Amino acid sequence: MIPPNIIIKDFDLSLVPPTCWIRRLGPNGIPQVIENANSEQDIANLFMRMFYIYAAYGLDNDALLMQQRALELRKCFRINAPKDTEIRLLSLVAAGEMTDNTPLDFVVEDTTIQLDLVYVNDNPREVLEVPTHDIVFLGLGESIKNNPILDYLAFVLNKWPRPIINLPVNVKKCGRVELSKALRNIDTIHIANTIAVCSIDVVYKGVDFVIRPVGTHSGKGFEFINSQDSLKTYLKDYKEHQDFYVSDYVDYKSSDGYFRKYRIALINGKPFVCHLAISENWVVNYISARMDLSELKRAEEELEMLQFESRFGLKHKRAFEAFHERIGLDYVVLDCFETKEGKLLIFEADPGSWIHATDSVEMFPYKKPVMEKAFSAFKRMLSEKISDFKNKK
- Report in angstroms the alpha-carbon separations of 249 from 100, 183, 207, 260, 368: 26, 17, 9, 15, 34
* More confident of the two residues 193 and 42: 193
Residue 236 lies in a domain: yes
Band the pLDDT of 158: cuts 50, 70, 90.
Answer: confident
In a domain, 175, yes or no: no
Considering the chain, what percentage of its residues have pLDDT values greater than 90? 73
Q: Do residues 235 and 280 both lie within one domain?
A: no
The mean pLDDT of 8-13, rounded to a whole number, is: 86
**Number of folded domains that form the chain:** 3
In a domain, 332, yes or no: yes
pLDDT at 137: 98
Domain holding 56, by residue range, is 6-169
Beta bridge partners of 78: 15, 116
pLDDT at 363: 95
Handedness of CA 55, 58, 61, 66 (dihedral sign): negative
The residue that leads in pLDDT, 287 or 240, is 287
Task: List strands edge to edge, sheet with 135-138.
Answer: 76-80, 113-119, 87-93, 135-138, 164-165
Considering the domain architecture, whether residues 128 and 235 belong to the same structural domain is answered as no
Residue 71 included in any domain: yes
- Of 327, 345, 313, the closest CA to residue 189 belongs to 345
All residues at 6 or more sequence positions from 52 whose CB lies less than 8 Å from its CB, including other chains:
16, 17, 18, 19, 22, 63
What residues does 101 pair with on adjacent strands? Answer: 140
Q: What is the pTM of this model?
A: 0.93
Structure confidence at residue 297 (pLDDT): 97
Question: What CATH code is carried by the domain that includes residue 356?
Answer: 3.30.470
Q: Judge whether residue 228 has pLDDT over 80.
A: yes
Query: Which amino acid, one-letter code, is at 239?
Result: K
**pLDDT the model gives residue 2:** 57
Q: What pLDDT shows up at residue 392?
A: 82
pLDDT at 17: 73
DSSP H helices, 161-316, are 168-171, 176-182, 228-235, 295-306, 312-315
pLDDT greater at residue 32 or residue 72: 72
Residue 115 confidence (pLDDT):
97
What's the pLDDT at 14?
83
Confidence grade of residue 126 (pLDDT, cut at 50, 70, 90): confident
Question: Is residue 161 scored above 60 in pLDDT?
Answer: yes
Looking at the structure, tell me whether residues 142 and 274 fall in a common domain: no
* Same domain assignment for residues 15 and 155: yes
Element (H, E) at 349: strand 344-350
- Are residues 78 and 24 both part of a single domain? yes
Same domain, residue pair 105 and 210: no
Do both 26 and 51 map to the same domain? yes
Mean pLDDT of the chain: 91
Mean pLDDT of 164-172: 97
Q: Which of 16-20, 122-126, 316-320, 380-384 has the lowest mean pLDDT?
A: 16-20
Give the pLDDT of residue 20: 63
pLDDT tens column, 52-109: 888 888 888 999 999 999 999 999 999 999 999 999 999 999 999 988 999 999 999 9
Query: What local confidence, expressed as pLDDT, does residue 22 receive?
Result: 66
